[in-house]
Amino acid sequence: MVLDDDFQLAQKRVDELITLLDRYSHEYYVLDRPTIEDSEYDKLYQELLKLEETYPALVQQDSPTQRVGGTLLQGFEKVEHDLPMLSLDNAFDLEGLRAFDLRLRQLVGDNIEYECELKIDGLAVSLKYEEGRLVQAVTRGDGRIGENVTGNVKTIKSVPLKLKEAVTIEVRGEIYMPKASFVALNEDREEQGEANFANPRNAAAGTLRNLDPKVTASRNLSVFLYSMVQYGELEIDSQSEALSKMTELGLKTNPDRAVFQSIDEVWTYVEKYQEKRTTLPYEIDGIVIKVNQFEEQEQAGYTVKAPRWAIAYKFPAEESKTKLLAIEWSVGRTGVVTPTAIMNPVQLAGTTVQRASLHNVDLIKERDIRINDLVFVRKAGDIIPEVVRVDFDSRPESSIPFEIPTECPACQSELAHLEDEVALRCLNPKCPAQAKERLIHFVSRNAMNIDGLGEKIIIQLFEKQLVEDVSNLYELTLEQLLTLDKIAEKSAENLLKAIEASKSNSMERLLFGLGIKHVGAKAARLLSEKYETMDQLKQAPKEDIQAIDGIGEIIAESVVAFFDLEAARDLLEKLATHGVNLTYTGAKKRETMDESSVFYDKTVVITGKLEHFKRNDLKERLTLLGANVTGSISKKTDILIAGADAGSKLSKAKELDVPVWDEESLMKEIGQ
């Protein structure tokens, strides 16, 4: 069969786009040297996405569009490593390194080269490539058996889905969470009343083992590869050559590595990075020292647990001791009340620290932290100061346990400690501290994007009682703004113009700006695209909302609970009165669909084992034909597509008189 010209042109363009996007992604995520603007990358990505939606047969396994994360996993398959992933022996001082050097010289002679690398504090992983394509990713596990996390690893943008050469190899390395991603993640978790991750390593491990690949995709993990354990016919004689070859293949390796001729040179390298570690954008906990030549590695051999030719120098934990003077409580926009330790100033990782995170009340109780205690402080991920433990030996007998507050520090309402949360929460919807934080969020870039309206101005607006909630922004006058400090007439006029311009924002920006618990920018867009107006979303039942791909039960419950609040409904009425747009005006996939399709505007559910389709491929195909593919049967379901061994959904469809199609009927309808 001869392919039509349009398909051939599309196929050629898809290949070009994948090559371009892979190159730009490698420059951005691996080399940290982007050559195009983000907007240009997004434009090319959207072009590829549109071509793949129009021609599903052109979707390639290693397309950048396939990194978004697939369906929810039921668990992780256990995989036995072809070669065990051994641990390393440790050294903690120069004497330990000298003893390591002496042992090696006795085994392989004096002519040794040492290859030194930064020890990334993350989660060890093995990646297998067949003919240049990623086919498997497995965690270290117990060193012999790990877990298959291929679906999650494919969402990590610094892991190439396709190498620059069609080689079959196995490489190993460390998946980690950059410090910036760690800070953003914990800030979000604190805002939602969830427990913080203790450090980037725990965050990376929890993220990589999450059963929802979409969660992994959202948390911006990265990777450094540090060894090639199976390299086929590649001519490689040393660790330094292996790392260079891996870099050539498009794999991300750490550039801060070096080869030395003596253990004294190694120690200079160790001291250099012990001093520099806090300035790196990722967390390291030491230096790995390896014999460089593979022939000498084989000569040195292995113990039962570790290679004799490598050792990990572990940095000492950097902690400082100081006196805890007070605990300060602050209220976030969702009502979460967060404690902060106020301490005597202390030097920590090159900076003076006087405030440290205590995270939540459960942590204060668990660690028995009290006022006037001497406490040990460190920087989580070398970034956020936190109290890690108390010096109980120095505590006086007269010390009394810290009394957890029962009233909100801002509005004096009674605080709640909900069963499913680790945080205290103020439930007063009119709490002024929450209102201020909600307004700061409302005007932010990803929400209503009101240029010029920063935190300092918002604080003044509250202090002068010019605003109580976000609707009051649209009532501000030039005269009122001119009463604020450092606001001249031109600035005030520009601010009023920015506020006026925000009225025309599409619905998803407003929905995100309202600060509904668990509703991020992506969820706001999915909800807005589905329901199109705030009124329709307000009336939507929880079952329909949670059936949207990418939403789920937790977000659905939160949305329904928000619209059940009288205060929320009143706020939306006020915004509508002020002329704020409550309608989705963004681009909709439906605009490109064939309205004559039998699936157009129909709600479809898929169940059972399919013989002729992969479930995700079928779901995408039906969506492109105009269907709304959901996961649960209801009276609103128009068609159930049932494969073999269909269970309760088939029974429920028959009870509700929902039309049931088998695969043969489906294939006839879509012309396959």
Name the strand (E) or helix (H) holding 339. Answer: strand 336-348
Is 602 a known active-site residue?
A: no
Using an 8 Å Cβ cutoff, are 494 and 457 in contact?
no
> Strand 351-357 relative to strand 374-380: parallel, antiparallel, unpaired?
unpaired
- Name the burial class of residue 424, with classes exposed (0-12), middle (13-18) and buried (19+) by CB atoms within 10 angstroms of its CB: buried
Residue 158: what residue type?
Answer: S
Closest CA to 426 of 402, 405, 440, 455: 405
Using an 8 Å Cβ cutoff, are 150 and 133 in contact?
no
Quickly count helices (H) and strands (E) in the chain: 24, 22
Instruction: Please pick, among 43, 119, 164, 430, the residue that the annotation labels catalytic.
Output: 119
Q: Return d(Cα 60, Cα 58) in angstroms, integer.
A: 6
Measured CA to CA in angstroms, residue 459 lies from 28, 111, 188, 228, 468 at distances of 37, 67, 22, 55, 11
Assigned token pair, 62:
């290693």
Assigned token pair, 340:
């902060």
What is the end-to-end Cα distance of the chain in Å, rounded? Answer: 15
Cα-to-chain-centroid distance, residue 604: 31
Using an 8 Å Cβ cutoff, are 531 and 545 in contact?
no
Q: Return d(Cα 164, Cα 158) in angstroms, integer.
A: 14
Q: Return d(Cα 499, Cα 489) in angstroms, integer.
A: 15
HEC profile of 450-466: CCCCCHHHHHHHHHCCC
Measured CA to CA in angstroms, residue 445 lies from 40, 142, 512, 513 at distances of 20, 45, 11, 10
Give the sheet arrangement for strand 123-130, strand by strand: 133-139, 123-130, 169-176, 222-230
Closest CA to 510 of 500, 525, 526, 488: 525
Using an 8 Å Cβ cutoff, are 617 and 649 in contact?
no
Is 34 in a helix, a strand, or coil?
coil
Using an 8 Å Cβ cutoff, are 624 and 670 in contact?
no
Residue 432: what residue type?
Answer: P
* Count of Cβ atoms closer than 10 Å to residue 221 Cβ: 26
- Long-range pairs, 344-347, Cβ under 8 A, ≥24: 346/320, 346/321, 346/322, 346/377, 347/320
Closest CA to 238 of 287, 288, 289, 291: 291
Assigned token pair, 297:
């590695």
Assigned token pair, 249:
């293949």
Using an 8 Å Cβ cutoff, are 603 and 628 in contact?
yes
Q: Return d(Cα 457, Cα 482) in angstroms, integer.
A: 11
The residues annotated with a catalytic role in the active site are 119
